[in-house]
Structure 1
């Protein structure tokens, strides 16, 4: 599906960066499994010059996005776990000591967030289409609905009226975020609170992380575009914070408009010239990293079997002589990428990996990987793009 209208203000959204045959990410192949038919597709990043909101120009169908062995579970990701802790800390700062009657988590994944807030909530409901065709995890006191939020009547849930709506890293996957926010505001109780978190486009630009533009994320919210969207949907700003180490995430608490809260703080609108300038810097860094990979001391191994590694390889122009990606998760040993000639191996199964060049391939976990490598002391260590 091609897109031309801005998802925030409805104005024209036009191409700013072309991404021909951008690889699909998160497609792992377990031993004996074969690659899906589609592993890459043409894509482009659009920008609205009116409100500065960025979004993808094409929305791929779910049967392509989630083909093969697509996998992500919050509790299995160190980065996601720390992000959840940051989120619950923000909730406590916004509503200190408050006990809620019924919380709904839009995009509940493996219920990790709902488990963390169990002590301060009566009823809990999780909504996520990943459980439409699979048995959901069982958690006492939690009802799981395997559906998109758009298909659920939030006013008729088993747990009763909703006074807390949570949504972490889900709104960016939605083609019509305006409809989801309005649906949540219409359903929440008069004294209810909504807390949303999305990856921040401001931080993506600042850190030159254009490898974080991928098919699954349809929307790229800046602080300015997110604040505008909430206000136009009838939301009233309560508080916000940025989590710079976790996708530059923007966390925002809001409620139904009452006129009692201050307006959202002002934020600069992203401009086309600004995006192009940062992308040109990114391209120079990517080309320099690609040259270092080409001349790297052999053997070359990656460290960190990240979902976004195919995107990183795309922007670097390949991964040189790399054939193996090391990962501390033993359950991934022997996995392959559907669109890269790489095998995932546990370090204990790769003798001599310290003798050459180790490339940090999970950029969002660069800090813990660097700590590990400082102890292991490989001959050379390469951190692509040089941002932590």
Structure 2
């Protein structure tokens, strides 16, 4: 469990208190395993979650950074979904309009294939540089002429005073020292006061209050509440302009600028109700897992052929937690790079939606309920008459 004496890596104000553990989870949810055997034999690590009573950070003290190298075989892109495309389009346009990001210099930390960076640069006629060790130029989609992605991990030197907008989406939760990373970004910006930071992370409340246990994955070292995210950003030397939930409450987003004066703010305390949710999480989560297992057992008893939709973090998290290898034999994903690969830890084949036409299931398990309408429309267009259930 949580190492004795380990203090919160964001506020350093309190020792982390243990509340949930899970052994032997895959260390990566986004690696494209080419064979079922390799997927079943994937590297594993332990979740040993503790929480900070002062700022509300949830942190995996069992995390070992040496297990989490990212390379070309990693792909966790979401922009093949029309729902997600709309979200990114609206986000890019809002950042451009709100902060006047036109004919400007944009840096993205953890830019993946460069899709969102390319969108910001195309809509605002900007220049963009992204940094991501998983970038694969051979398989990535073409980028606008004024955009480049460097196949490197982020370092302080990658952000300088030339940057008008710094974007960091779904990276901070993967970093063992999130506060240190944000300080590096602030130091790189230097004396410039009008650079905008856009930061986006998964919303920790999703797991804690909706009991979305599948969102607890080894790659995510930290799980941020609004209080701990505010504490991390402000203590790194930024002034928060906006902090909001987005994407059906699944994300937390921060817009910030460098603070004019150095500040060492007190940690923002979490809502007491959230601390109560954390303390009750282990028992409630196990009840939820039992309900999921019963749901799959009932489908099996009914003779239903079951496929899942969404070969991302939720599928890896849930299926490994349940030990599901046969009850769900295929997972559909719209990301073409994932098709033909196998799910980490449990080995289900990942297929294209069109594969259901010739071999239709009776039930489609939707791993993320936010996509249920889009998935239903796709099934109707394909002529696949299947019952949709969510986990």
TM over 0.5: yes
Counterpart of 1:166 in structure 2 is 167
Shift of 1:227: 1.0
Which residue of 2 is the match for residue 339 of structure 1?
Answer: 345
Matched, 1:381 2:383: no
| Equivalent position to 1:203, from 202, 206, 217 | 206
Aligned to 1:129: 133
Q: C-alpha offsets along residues 69-110 of structure 1, whole Å, 9 cap, x if unaligned?
A: 432235445465344234324424642x45363211111111
SS of equivalent to 1:337 = coil
- Give the one of 282, 288, 303 matched to 1:285: 288
| Counterparts of 1:371 and 1:319, CA distance in 2 | 28
Query: In the TM superposition, what is the alpha-carbon distance from 1:286 to its structure 2 partner?
Result: 2.5
Shift in CA distance, 303/161, structure 1 to aligned 2, threshold 3 Å: same
Q: Does 1:21 align with 2:24?
A: yes
Per the TM alignment, residue 367 of structure 1 is displaced from its structure 2 partner at its CA by 3.3
- Which 5+ residue runs of structure 2 have no aligned equivalent? none
Look up the SS of the partner of 1:295 in the other structure.
helix
Instruction: Tell me the equivalent position of 1:238.
Output: 241
For residue 257 of structure 1, what is the aligned residue in structure 2?
A: 259
1:366: which partner in 2? 372
| Residue of structure 2 equivalent to 1:59 | 63
Check whether the contact 1:200–1:221 (CA below 8 A) recurs between aligned residues. yes
**Distance across 1 between alignment mates of 2:120 and 2:357:** 43
For residue 327 of structure 1, report the CA deviation from its aligned partner: 4.1
Q: Take 2:136 and 2:377, find their aligned partners in 1: how far apart are those partners?
A: 39
Structure 2 contact 19–49 (Cα < 8 Å) conserved: yes
SS in 2 for 1:129: coil
On the 8 A contact 2:55/2:270 being kept in 1, the answer is no
Residue 298 of structure 1 is matched in structure 2 by 303
> Deviations along 1:302-343, whole A, 9 cap, x unmatched?
132412212111334536632223445566554322421422
- Residue 214 of structure 1: aligned partner: 217
- Residues 111 and 62 of structure 1: is their aligned pair in 2 closer, same or farther, counting only changes over 3 Å? farther
Q: Deviations over 1:232-263 (max 9, x none)?
A: 22211212221142x6211111112137xxx9
Q: Report if aligned partners of 2:364, 2:389 keep a CA contact under 8 Å in 1.
A: yes
Q: Which of residues 68, 72, 76 is equivalent to 2:76?
A: 72
Cα deviation, 1:13-55, whole Å, max 9, x if unaligned, reads: 2321011112342233335984485432222112112211111
Contact 1:324 1:342 in 2 (8 A): yes
CA gap of 1:166–1:125, structure 2 versus 1, over 3 A, is: same
Q: Distance in 2 between matches of 1:73 and 1:355?
A: 26
The 1:35–1:134 alpha-carbon spacing in structure 2 relative to 1, beyond 3 Å, is: same
Q: What pairs with 1:53-202 in structure 2 (closer than 5 Å)?
A: 53-61=57-65, 66=70, 69-78=73-82, 80-92=84-96, 94-95=98-99, 97-99=100-102, 101-118=104-121, 119-120=123-124, 122-131=126-135, 139-150=144-155, 152-155=157-160, 161-188=162-189, 189-202=192-205
Q: Distance in 2 between matches of 1:193 and 1:350?
A: 45
Question: Is residue 75–residue 134 contact of structure 2 (8 Å, CA) maintained in 1?
Answer: no
Q: What SS class does the counterpart of residue 290 from structure 2 fall into?
A: helix
Q: How many residues align?
A: 374
- State whether residues 303 and 359 of structure 1, in contact with CA within 8 Å, keep that contact through their aligned partners in structure 2: yes
In structure 2, C-alpha distance between the alignment counterparts of 1:258 and 1:219, rounded to whole Å: 28
Aligned to 2:239, what secondary structure does the other structure show?
strand
Residue 349 of structure 1: CA displacement?
4.0
Compute the RMSD of aligned alpha carbons.
3.5
Say which is worse superposed, 231-240 or 300-309, in terms of deviation.
300-309
